[in-house]
Amino acid sequence: CFLTKEPFLVVDVSKEPKFFPVKSLPETKSELALPLTTRGTTIGVLDVQNNTTNSFNEEDLLTLQVLAEQISVAVENAQLYEKIKHSLDEVRKSQAFFAKIVLESPLATFITDSEGVCILVNQSALYLIGVNNHYNEVIGKYNLLTDPPFANTPLPEAIRKVLKGEVVNLTVDLLIEAQTTKHPKYDMATLKATLFPLVDDFGKVGNIVVKFEDLTEKKVLEDALQQAQKMESIGTLAGGIAHDFNNILGGVLGYTSFIKNQMSKSDPLYRYINIIESSARRAADLTQQLLAFARGGKYRVQTLNINNLIKEAIELVESTIPSSIKLKLAVATEALVVEVDGGQIIQTIVNMCINARDAMPDGGLLNISTSRVTLDEQFTYAHPGSKVGNYVLLRVSDTGTGMTEETKHRIFEPFFTTKKDRKGTGLGLAMVYGIIKNHNGYVDVESEIGVGTTFSIYLPASNKQLEDVKRNTGNLKEGNETILVAEDEDIMRELLIEMLDSGGYQVISAENGQEALNIYHERFDQIDLVILDIDMPELNGKEAFQRFKEINPGVKVLLSSGYSQDGHPQDILNEGVLGFLQKPYGVNDLLDKIRTVMHSN
d(CA 244, CA 388): 37
The H or E element spanning position 587 is helix 587-598
- Cis upstream peptide for 584 (omega within 30°): yes
Element (H, E) at 500: helix 490-502
Region for 239 from its dihedrals, namely left if φ exceeds 0, alpha if ψ lies in -120 to 50, beta otherwise: alpha
Phi-psi domain of 363 (left: phi exceeds 0; alpha: psi -120 through 50; beta: other): left
CA–CA gap between residue 567 and residue 410 (Å, rounded): 28
**Which helix (H) or strand (E) segment is 262 a member of?**
helix 216-262
pLDDT for the residue 416: 67
What's the Cα-to-Cα distance from 329 to each of 222, 322, 354, 441, 455, rounded to whole Å?
37, 16, 16, 22, 15
Q: How far apart are CA 595 and CA 337, in angstroms?
A: 31
Contacts of 531 (CB under 8 A, 6+ apart): 483, 484, 485, 486, 487, 496, 557, 558, 560, 581, 594
Query: β-strands 389-398, 529-533: how paired?
Result: unpaired
Cβ neighbours around 490 below 10 Å, total: 10
Which amino acid is residue 555, in one-letter code?
A: V
Let me know: does 375 contact 391? Beta carbons within 8 Å.
yes
Angstrom distance (rounded) from CA 359 to CA 496:
44
List of the chain residues with pLDDT < 70: 23-26, 95, 97, 132-133, 176-187, 220, 223-243, 285-286, 288-300, 414-416, 418-428, 467-478, 563-570, 601
**Residues 23, 26, 28: CA angle, nearest 5 degrees:** 125
φ/ψ of 560, rounded to 5, equals -140, 140
Question: Which overall architecture, per CATH, does domain 105-214 show?
Answer: 2-Layer Sandwich (3.30)
Give the CA angle between residues 300, 305, 308 to the nearest 5°.
Answer: 100
Give long-range contacts, CB 8 A cutoff, 24+ apart: 374-379: 375/442, 375/458
Residue 69 has a CB neighbour count (10 Å cut-off) of 15
| CATH dotted code for 482-598 | 3.40.50.2300
302-460: in CATH 3.30.10.20: no
Q: Find, among 221, 232, 566, 222, the residue nearest to 414 by Cα.
A: 232
**178-205: b or e for each residue (b if 16 or more CB lie within 10 Å)?**
eeebebeebeebbbebbbbbeeeeeeeb
At 472 the three-state DSSP class reads: coil
* C-alpha span between 260 and 542 (Å, rounded): 34
DSSP of 43-83: EEEEEEEESSTT---HHHHHHHHHHHHHHHHHHHHHHHHHH
- pLDDT on residue 475: 44
Of 415, 310, 394, 397, residue with least CA distance to 360: 397
CB 527 within 8 A of CB 483: yes
Report which residue type is found at 1: C
pLDDT single digits (tens) 48-96: 988 888 888 888 888 898 998 899 889 888 888 888 888 787 777 776 7
Q: What angle do CA 346, 347, 349 make, to 5 degrees?
A: 65
Q: What is the CATH number of domain 8-99?
A: 3.30.450.40
For the chain, what's the residue count? 601
Task: Determine contact, residues 335/303, Cβ cutoff 8 Å.
Answer: no
Read off the amino acid at residue 95: Q
Tens digit of each residue's pLDDT (9 = 90 or more) over 274-318: 888 877 877 776 676 666 655 544 456 789 999 999 998 888 788
User: Residue 495, Cβ neighbours under 10 Å: how many?
Assistant: 25
Phi and psi torsions of 289, nearest 5°: -65, -40
Q: Under a CB-based contact definition with an 8 Å cutoff, are residues 539 and 495 in contact?
A: no
Which pLDDT score is estimated for 180?
45
Q: Is 361 helix (H, G, I), strand (E, B) or coil?
A: coil
Terminal Cα distance for the chain, rounded = 122
